[in-house]
Amino acid sequence: MAQTTNSKNININQANIWPSSEEEGELAIDLYETKDELILQAAIGGVAINDLDISITNDMITIRGRRDRDDKSKIEKFYYNECFWGPFSRSLILPQEVDADKAKATIKNGLLSIYLPKLIRVQKRTLKIEEE
């Protein structure tokens, strides 16, 4: 079942784990649009929902988190070490303004999906002329 949150500043984690002295990885994302919204998706398998922090403004989004290895003390030797463990973040300027107040985030099967409704601004405005 997907977990959902609605908030302008979607702080899934209330604990302040940033800034960190550890090297920070960059989160890989997909960002695409539909008629009504921008959708950002990121594979975050192994990240607890309490270890995520999402901040949104009308033109920017920042995702921060941490992936910890549970069995770290038992490891004797690595043969391949390609997965990133530790803190990560990703900030990007959005290609279009969004309504941050109506943003929604869900997690299902390790996939974080953030739905960002497009902010529709009136392009044409009629100006009334006043006589002085």
Domain ranges of the chain: 3-117
pLDDT > 70 fraction of the chain, expressed in percent and rounded: 82
pLDDT of residue 31: 97
pTM assigned to the model: 0.73
| Architecture of the domain made up of 3-117 | Sandwich (2.60)
Lowest mean pLDDT among 18-32, 54-68, 98-112: 18-32
77-86 as b/e: b if 16+ CB within 10 A: eeeeeeeeee
C-alpha–C-alpha distance, residues 82 and 124, integer Å: 52
Q: What is the SS3 assignment for 34?
A: coil
